[in-house]
Amino acid sequence: MVRLVSFLWVHLVMLLTSWLPDIRPCLKLRGLLVRPALKRCGRNFQLAQRVTLNFPNCLEVGNDVYFAAGCWLHAPGGIVVEDEVQLGPYVVLITGDHSLKDGSYRFGPGARAPIRLQRGCWLAAHTTVIKGVTVGRGALVAANAVVTQDVPDFSIVGGVPARILRENVDPGATP
Q: What is the pLDDT of residues 16-28, one digit of tens each?
A: 999 999 999 999 9
Mean of all residue pLDDT scores within the chain: 94
List of domains in the chain: 2-166 (2.160.10.10)
Give CA–CA dist 151/44, Å, rounded: 26
Give CA–CA dist 109/133, Å, rounded: 20
Q: What is the pLDDT of residues 118-154, one digit of tens each?
A: 999 999 999 999 999 999 999 999 999 999 999 999 9
The SS3 call for residue 119 is coil
